[in-house]
Amino acid sequence: MQTEQLIKMANQVGDFFESYPDQVQAQQGIAEHLNRFWALAMRRQIAAHVKEANGVGLHAKVISAISSYLEVE
């Protein structure tokens, strides 16, 4: 899948959790959604984008969620 499409999808998930007042809970919710509904290959690709390109195009909260809570193995 194109990285740009994954960025768009991840940001849409992040937008859903934007209203959460607890930032840690929001980050955990984002990662839980990605871990649950995204294929391992997709998670690996978005994690690589965060690592290699500093998550360009992703919302800050999504980057934090991926860096802290995403399962890629």
Q: How many domains are contained in the chain?
A: 1
* Domain of 41, in residue numbers: 3-69
- Answer whether 10's CB lies under 8 Å from 34's CB: yes
pLDDT at residue 73 is higher than 90: no
Q: CA 32, CA 19: separation in Å to the nearest integer?
A: 17
The answer to whether the beta carbons of residues 3 and 43 sit under 8 Å apart is no
Residue 43, pLDDT score: 98
Number of H helices, E strands in the chain: 4, 0
Reported as a single tens digit per residue, the pLDDT across 25-67 is 999 999 999 999 999 999 999 999 999 999 999 999 999 999 9
Dist. CA 57–CA 60, nearest whole Å: 9
Q: What pLDDT, on the 0 to 100 scale, is given for residue 62?
A: 98
pTM given for the model: 0.94
The pLDDT value given to residue 28? 97
- 66 is written with which tokens? 């991926």
